[in-house]
Structure 1
Amino acid sequence: MVSAMNPWTLLGLNDDADERTVKRQYAKLLKVTRPDEDPEAFQRLREAYERALDWSRNRADEDDEFDSPAVTIGQASALSVETVTSAHTTADLVQPAPDAEAMARQAARVLVEETTAENLPRQHQRAVEQGRDLPFQQRLLDRCLEANSSNGDLLEAAINQLQWLTPWQSLRISADREIQLTQRLLDSEGARLERALAEGKERQFLAALQALAQQPWLASLERRDQLQRWVMFFLHNHKGWTAALFDRVCELFGWDDRKGVFPEPEFIWRNLIERCEKYAYIEHWQRLLAGGKTDSVEEKAARLVLQPGRKVDRLRLARFCSADVWIACERLCSTINNRYPEMLDVFPEADLQSWRTLRVEPMNPAVWTWIGWVLFTALFMIPNEMMKGTLDGVKAAVMLLMYPFFMTGLCRIAMRVWRPVCLAIEDADEWLSDLLLPEWLHWPASQALVVRHGVPLVLIGVILSSQGPAAVLCYALLMLAWIFLSPYRHPQIYAPIREAVRTFLHVNARKIFLSIIVIAASAIYFSLYPLAPKPVPTSSSGQVAKALPGQLDCSSEQAMDLMDKDCRNAVLPERCANYSREQKISQCWRLRTRLQRELDSQASPGH
């Protein structure tokens, strides 16, 4: 791009400008031509600077070769001595003059050996006064670049005092030594940066790095590139920095992975990007745990996997987890196992497996309330009514179908009214429950609360107590079964059962619905239009049939004799042979009631 324009014209210099003038002019133009504001203008300036710098250096080398004599004074003296004939003695010969350049180097060496960071300005002034400025600087540079040298302070003082690596330096330094000198300066700065990073002072680290980037000895493009590579390797070789710090460093140097703007080598850069993603990932989950909330999907996943806590707390949380939470848990565990296993060191309490045992499909409380009332009806209500002799098979079927639905609906309505009161005192209720109830009773999912659940359960028990002790005992046994056999307590056992039931209902939903309708219709029909009773048998038990209705006292001896006679004529007399008096009285009452009902039905006008 610069071939069409003279580099001297672009730089605003004459074509006889030396290397020092070119560097100074380039440093001035860099202040008004920035790569991030006008990349094309900066590229043209850079190419012009490189071409002008090469021409000035080549011209200086040609001038040195042209001005230097073919034979030095020392070589001429040596030749003259060798050509003298043996007739002349050594005393007759004129000795060559001492080498002034060697003497200057020797004097500069002495000055440099006595130089420290504190007296550098004074030592340099002495060298200038003695006319040995360049030998002094050259020897000082050699000393600063010595291997295993600990002259960091002296090097920094020399940079500031002698303006090395800037357009105003008086000593000509080769490109290799410039790179070596820059590396030594960066390494000395690295100790401060490393200390700030180890102490976690990222702001101090970033401020020191920004100050370093503004140093005048890093103004040239080559050294800025060297600085960026050095920073990249520094981050690669040290741990403890965060993703936020890396983003600020990228912003400082204009690095952008999407645009392909980053220092070489690329594999180091890729490693930094992966580490930055890992740090950002870890910091994200640390923030979620530090917040102490469980509102979002990721917050619940973090609590279940990375910081499980007590099992009762996990069960309580898992009870209200949706499918998205379990997907997030699975994704988090997969990421830890496959990409970032170091997260286990950051989260030592993490458990990647136990959360799987907590996974329970959401359950409908109405369904389990209905099942509870079905069991109570089948285990107490129907047997109790049949013992009274007021219930037959048809009425028992109607009761089993209708009573659980009625009680379930009543309970759901009552809980809707009760729920706002429970929410208003939720915190106090949980505190009181943790204080009074044992931990095993909080299972499953810590759902047993003194006020929210205890008050309704006690109220139902009080209502059922009107049915007698047997009703209270049946109710208590069902509650104990729910506590110890709840699906929330044993999710893995119930999971295949629930899946099988769900599959069965899905496949046979229509058949089940039609069957329920048929059974309900049949029960209603037979309750309204019962079947005609069979004629009363006229066998030997006919005496019982004639004696029982309305005129026999079931507690009398006559009734006991009739029950014994009926037992001997029964199909299985051994079943009733050992009946006690109370059992015979109960049998008498059942038989008397049944026969009275049959006689009433025969006497009705419809028959």
Structure 2
Amino acid sequence: MSHWQALGLTPDADERGIKRAYARLLKIHRPDENPAEFQRLREAYEASLAEARWRAQADDHVVYAPSAIVTPSVMTFQRDESPTPAGSVDHLDIATSLRPPEPSLEQIRQWLVEGQDRQVMNALRVWLASEWLLPFERRQQFEHNVLDWLESAQGWSPAFFEGVCELMGWDEAQGKLPCEYWRWSPLVRRCEVHALAETVRRDLARFEEGKVHGLAAAMLFLPMTDRRRREMADSLSDLDWQRFSELAQTIEYQYPEVAQDLGLQPLSNWRDWLPPAGYPGVYLFLWLALSGVLIASLLAGPIEKVSLVSTILMPLFMLFVSWIGSKAYGVWSMVAVAVGALDVLLSRSLIPRRWYREGAGLLLLRHVLPSAVPAAFACIWSYDVLWLRWVSPILVFLGTIYFMNDALSGSRISWWGRALRALKSGVGRLPWHRLRSQGLLAVIAVAVMAVIVYVRMKVVV
């Protein structure tokens, strides 16, 4: 293979075409990756460049002095006294390598610091096309300089960084990096942080324009009163809440620098604002508590009133009552949302701060007042048992408040949730999620209470 074929050129290629082909192939055959191929490429480049320059010099002699005869006067001699044409490769390489191209490296760095991206890109193109960077050592040093500038400068955009990588031939996917990955990774992270910050800025600007778009970013970053944030939270859709949760988690766990770039403080208790998936703990507690009140009132009363059938029907009846109560609470919640401003005003004054949580926790009209309804039923169903009439309403009310507050606590795990997890891990492979979802636990609880009452009746008789 000739040196022209190695460069992918024809023998009539000029000096400019040879340099372009060499610069293109130099990105493929790097000396640190394939020294043998690089050496062959370098030899082919030098041979082709020498031949092209000699041919150009010969053409000049023919044009300007057609009758001239080459004499020793137009020859130069090296120390070994071997004749070499006056325009040889060594002579021209020394002449063209004396001065680096303009603008200077210091000027390029200054432009980068000042944020003049276009000037920097144009200057990089000039340097990469110059003969000054043809030696591998100079090219490597130049890439390290550019890398140092990017690390020290602030404010460049991901688009600018992508353009520099494309111009310099850096490609992480192909493993063509100018440095180790531990040094490259922070630059990529800066691009990701900058991109996320720009996205949040754009969403906040869209929210300021129409109050319709960018709700997740506004909910997380914009300072608001408790009433305003509560109103916004009640108006968010499921998709908005999903975006809000993803954005908050991304900033908290991956890119906390985004808040600093924006100059805004994200919502500290953002988990408390996430809507509850439901109130299973509240309904389960009310069913067990009210069923226990009914059965306790029967046990504390005359024995003649107690029967196995009534004992079994009471908890089943409470299942129906709990279902009716959940529907009624859904209607009441819509009413409470409509008067949310008044609810926040009263709750901020009457509910403890750790339960109120800046409007994200318990609210007086929405949560506390409905909790008094099952407490009233517990008092009524206690019949003539004096101690039960005083104890049961308090226990039912406080228990409802506790489990309601637990449901509004976002991703926090309550003590009974941790106990359930421990129970699951202790018993092994029992499908507790199926038992809970299918209501089998409720049936088991009813059967246990029925057996207790039945045994008590037998003992008395």
Category of TM-score, reference length = shorter chain: 0.5 to 0.7
Q: Which amino acid aligns with 2:121?
A: Q
1:344: which partner in 2? none
Distance 1:514 1:254 in 2: 65
1:478: which partner in 2? 396
1:245 matches 2:160: yes
Q: Which amino acid aligns with 2:161?
A: F
Distance 1:287 1:60 in 2: 70
Which one of 77, 83, 104 corresponds to residue 186 of structure 1? Answer: 104
1:401 matches 2:319: no
CA contact (8 A) 1:312 1:445 kept: no
Change (3 A) 1:62 1:506: farther
Q: Which amino acid aligns with 1:295?
A: Q
1:63 matches 2:82: no
The alpha carbon displacement at 1:225 in A equals 7.8
The alpha carbon displacement at 1:494 in A equals 3.2
2:242: which partner in 1? 295
The alpha carbon displacement at 1:182 in A equals 0.7
Change (3 A) 1:64 1:417: same
Change (3 A) 1:179 1:430: farther
The alpha carbon displacement at 1:386 in A equals 4.9
1:506 matches 2:431: yes
CA contact (8 A) 2:287 2:322 kept: yes
Distance 2:119 2:423 in 1: 68
2:37: which partner in 1? none
Change (3 A) 1:466 1:521: closer
Deviations 1:310-335 (CA, angstroms, capped at 9, x unpaired): 76543444x75xxxxxxxxxxxxxxx
Gaps of 5+ in 2: 29-41, 59-69, 82-89, 202-216, 221-240, 260-264
1:280 matches 2:191: yes
CA contact (8 A) 1:315 1:444 kept: no
CA contact (8 A) 2:336 2:365 kept: yes
The alpha carbon displacement at 1:248 in A equals 1.6
Change (3 A) 1:438 1:62: farther
* Residues 233-382 of structure 1 aligned to structure 2 (within 5 Å): 233-238=144-149, 239=151, 240=154, 241-253=156-168, 255-258=170-173, 268=179, 270=181, 273-283=184-194, 286=197, 291-292=217-218, 295-296=242-243, 298-302=246-250, 304-305=252-253, 306=256, 312-317=269-274, 365-378=279-292, 380-382=293-295
CA contact (8 A) 2:375 2:397 kept: no
Change (3 A) 1:415 1:449: same
The alpha carbon displacement at 1:498 in A equals 0.6
1:391 matches 2:305: yes
* Residues 459-498 of structure 1 aligned to structure 2 (within 5 Å): 459-461=373-375, 471=389, 474-483=392-401, 491=413, 493-498=415-420
Secondary structure of the residue that 1:181 maps to in structure 2? coil
Deviations 1:316-358 (CA, angstroms, capped at 9, x unpaired): 44x75xxxxxxxxxxxxxxxxxxxxxxxxxxxxxxxxxxxxxx
Secondary structure of the residue that 1:65 maps to in structure 2? strand
Q: Which amino acid aligns with 1:301?
A: Q
Distance 1:207 1:275 in 2: 23
The alpha carbon displacement at 1:256 in A equals 3.8
2:235: which partner in 1? none
Q: Which amino acid aligns with 1:299?
A: L
Distance 1:522 1:6 in 2: 94
Distance 1:465 1:285 in 2: 56
Change (3 A) 1:373 1:61: farther
Change (3 A) 1:478 1:61: farther
2:327: which partner in 1? 413
Q: Which amino acid aligns with 2:250?
A: A
1:448: which partner in 2? 362
2:225: which partner in 1? none
Q: What is the TM-score of this pair, normalised by structure 2?
A: 0.55
Distance 1:473 1:440 in 2: 26
Distance 1:419 1:368 in 2: 15
1:130: which partner in 2? none
Distance 1:519 1:430 in 2: 40
Secondary structure of the residue that 2:99 maps to in structure 1? helix
CA contact (8 A) 2:378 2:389 kept: yes
Q: What is the TM-score of this pair, normalised by structure 1?
A: 0.44
Deviating more after overlay: 400-409 vs 285-294: 285-294
Q: Which has the larger radius of gyration?
A: 1
Which one of 351, 365, 371 corresponds to residue 437 of structure 1? Answer: 351
Deviations 1:349-402 (CA, angstroms, capped at 9, x unpaired): xxxxxxxxxxxxx7x623531322322342x43444455536325366225522
Deviations 1:104-151 (CA, angstroms, capped at 9, x unpaired): xxxxxxxxxxxxxxxxxxxxxxxxxxxxxxxxxxxxxxxxxxxxxxxx
CA contact (8 A) 1:464 1:472 kept: no
Distance 1:452 1:499 in 2: 30
CA contact (8 A) 1:382 1:396 kept: no
CA contact (8 A) 1:377 1:400 kept: yes
Change (3 A) 1:476 1:428: same
Secondary structure of the residue that 1:268 maps to in structure 2? coil
The alpha carbon displacement at 1:298 in A equals 3.2
Deviating more after overlay: 304-313 vs 495-504: 304-313
Secondary structure of the residue that 1:182 maps to in structure 2? coil
Gaps of 5+ in 1: 12-22, 71-171, 321-361, 535-607
Distance 2:363 2:389 in 1: 24
Q: Which amino acid aligns with 2:164?
A: V
* Residues 63-142 of structure 1 aligned to structure 2 (within 5 Å): 63-65=74-76
Q: Which has the higher contact order (CA 8 A, sep 6+)?
A: 2
Secondary structure of the residue that 2:104 maps to in structure 1? helix
Change (3 A) 1:371 1:219: closer
